[in-house]
Chain A
Amino acid sequence: MNRLALVRSSILFNQARAFSCSKPNLVFGKDFKPGPYPKTEAERIAAAKKYGLKPEDYEPYPDNGFGFGDYPNLGSVSTDMKSDWGDYDDPYLKRNYGEPINVTQEQITADKVTLAKPRVSFSQIIFWFVFGGFAYIGLNLFLWDKKCFVPLAPKQYPRNALNGEEKHYKF
């Protein structure tokens, strides 16, 4: 089964589950609420174990009043930056069972935004745009007197108000 079929089947399955659910979704915030900011080394190790991380990989957000508590800072890695070809338990989020998720995961799924560095930066885009404009103007000024033309004499019209009594001849 290919990756796209996996994603589609997982979406359809979740949708079917949502439609078939007879009760409203009840979410208890206290179950998902992070614990207090770890101050001692023992608290750090306990928090790392809680989120399924090694103690050396665990790094909480700074305790600056945002209320993230002991939730781990997993870096700015959006879903589309992960490998497309991994055998994930959840192909939509590209996540395996028990794997911690980013604190802003709902904003950085593959169908929303990417945090990957753009291939061409904005300053480069502006530079090449301005460069192209000046190159166009400069070439125009440089080649202004070097025109191409079809080597034909002007078309001859019979006597009219413009050419008066001028006569035209055959060869």
Chain B
Amino acid sequence: MGSSTSQYILTFTESWTQPNVVPSVVDKPKHDPLEGFESGRQERVRKATDEDLYWAKIPPNRRDYCADHLIEYQRCRKLNYPFLSECEHYKHEWDHCQNEDTISRMKEFERERRLLKRDERKRLSEETAME
């Protein structure tokens, strides 16, 4: 808890002092996602199709990689209303998927930060070599 809080504070204080080594939270990562992965990476897939999302009336901000869990959850809600406690399992599945998604966002941020720091180190070493 303490270390995560200090890490959180250090991240944005570093963005005030050295903005070029802290990735943006708005823009997408600038580095190639496959950089450094010799055996490649597994691609993320969304199981629900656009057709499913359209007919389930899922709003655009929910059309992420967990939308199939959300469709199942909403179907359960509709079938079991008003006994919504029947759908705890589906809700838990959706929440878990969102949690995993957030963890992957944290990892993407940390990867981008380390790559930016690596670039900065390279640049500094090149500058010293030039001198």
What residues make up the interface of A, taking CB atoms closer than 8 Å to B? Answer: 145-158, 160, 163, 166-171
Residues of the A chain whose Cβ atoms lie less than 8 Å from the Cβ of B29: 153
Nearest-neighbour CB distance to chain B for A29, whole angstroms, equals 78
Q: Knowing A158-B46, A170-B41, A170-B42, say if A153 contacts B25 (CB, 8 Å).
A: yes
Residues of A within 8 A of B65 (CB): 156-158, 168
Identify the 8 closest CB pairs spanning chains A and B, nearest first.
Answer: A169-B41, A153-B108, A153-B109, A168-B44, A151-B11, A152-B105, A158-B46, A170-B42
Given contacts A149-B11, A168-B43, 9 further A-B contacts (CB under 8 A): A148-B12, A151-B11, A153-B28, A153-B105, A153-B108, A154-B27, A157-B64, A158-B46, A170-B44
Residue of B nearest to A157 (CB): B64
Residue B129 interfacial (CB < 8 Å): no
Q: Is A156 a contact partner of B12 (Cβ separation < 8 A)?
A: no
Complex CA gap A86/B108 in Å reads 76
Q: List chain B positions with a Cβ less than 8 A from chain A.
A: 7-8, 11-12, 15-16, 23, 25-29, 33-34, 41-44, 46, 63-65, 101-102, 104-109, 112-113
**Which secondary structure dominates chain A's binding surface?**
loop
Q: Is the CB of A152 within 8 A of B41?
A: no
With a cutoff of 8 Å between Cβ atoms, the chain A residues found around residue B102 in the complex are 152
- Report whether B46 and A167 are in contact in the complex, using a CB–CB cutoff of 8 Å: no
User: B112 CB to closest chain A CB, in angstroms?
Assistant: 7
Tell me the smallest distance from the CB of A167 to a CB of chain B, in Å: 6
One of B7, B12, B33, B109 near A167 (C-beta < 8 A): B33
Which of A146, A152, A170 touches B43 (beta carbons < 8 Å)?
A170
Q: How far is the CA of A145 from the CA of B12 in the complex (A)?
A: 11
Known: A158-B63, A169-B33. A151 touches B25 (CB 8 A): yes
CB distance from B58 to the nearest CB of A (A): 12
Of B23, B34, B106, the contact of A169 (CB 8 Å cutoff): B34
Shortest Cβ distance from residue B44 to the other chain A in the assembled complex, whole angstroms: 4
Q: Are A156 and B26 in contact (CB under 8 A)?
A: no
Which A residue sits closest to B107, measured CB to CB?
A171
Contact B25 A154 (CB under 8 A): yes
B26: chain A residues within 8 A (beta carbon): 154
A147→B14 CA distance, assembly (Å): 11
Centre residue among B29, B42, B104 by max chain A CB count within 10 A: B104
A152: contacting residue among B42, B64, B106, CB under 8 A: B106
Which of A146, A151, A157, A166 has the most chain B CB atoms closer than 10 A to its own CB?
A151
In the assembly, what is the distance between CA of A166 and CA of B33, in Å? 10
**Bound complex: CA of A153 vs CA of B33, how far in Å?**
13
Q: Are B105 and A155 in contact (CB under 8 A)?
A: yes
Are B42 and A169 in contact, with the CB atoms below 8 A?
A: yes
